[in-house]
Amino acid sequence: MSETLRTVLAAILLLSAAINLVRRQWTLNIFALGLQYICIFLLILEVRSAFLAGIKLIVGLMVSLMLYLTLKSSGLIESTLLRRHVTSGEIFRGTIALLLALISFLAAPALQQSVFPQSSQLLLTASLGLILFGLFQMGTITEPLYLAIGLLTFLSGFELLYASLEFSRLLEALLTAVNLSLALVGSFFIVKDVESGSE
């Protein structure tokens, strides 16, 4: 895969994470989450075989589907085409997203030089970006869906970074279990939220 294509993929990856951070439209968020996992699959091919990278893709899409089906069965999905005004909160989060993307872009070279020499700069930028987006989302939101997305984004960033450092089948299996359990917990929280709201 050419360097330009990989750069575009990293940009799409960060953009989809930024959409999840900024926009509060659940169908769009789930779509962005799925897209995030597709980009991770393509980027991780740099350090993993297609078979092993494929596991991450399947798990990611399963996670997105699980969250989507929970939202749909709870009647919480609204049309993606529904037009909504941009709120001041979205502008604030958008600015933060830009800042975080800039930080990851600027910090990646120094981080590569001093801590992770075997990881490529692009991979580091993408993983650092995901970790920062995830952390910000987790730190500012208490809504179950966004908390789950924040945690999944944070973990994706870490998995992307760790994939370039070490490989262990047991660890891969455990991380897969963690991702699926996280989606289950996210769905559980969403259902609890709906049930307690309807009482």
Which positions touch another protein (CB under 8 A)?
A: 115, 131, 135, 138-139, 142, 144, 147, 150-151, 154-155, 158, 162, 165-166, 168-171, 173-175, 177-178, 181-182, 184-185, 188-189, 192-193, 195-197, 199
> Is there a contact between 26 and 69 (Cβ–Cβ < 8 Å)?
no
Minimum distance between the CB of residue 25 and another protein, rounded to whole angstroms?
Answer: 21
Give the rounded distance of the alpha carbon of 115 from its chain centre.
23
To another protein, the closest distance from the beta carbon of 72 in angstroms equals 19
Instruction: Pick between residue 2 and residue 114 the one whose CB is nearest to another protein.
Output: 114
Please state the closest distance from residue 139 (CB atom) to another protein, in A.
8
Query: Measuring CA to CA, how many Å separate 41 from each of 60, 73, 122, 123, 147?
Result: 9, 28, 14, 12, 23
Nearer Cβ to another protein (92/188): 188
Q: Where does residue 178 rank: exposed (0-12), middle (13-18), buried (19+ CB within 10 A)? A: middle
For the bound state, the minimum distance from the C-beta of residue 174 to another protein, rounded and expressed in Å, comes to 4
The two structure tokens encoding residue 173: 């299996």
Pick the closer one to another protein by CB: 6 or 153. Answer: 153
- Are 36 and 16 contacting, i.e. CB atoms less than 8 angstroms apart? yes
Cβ closer to another protein: 49 or 181?
181
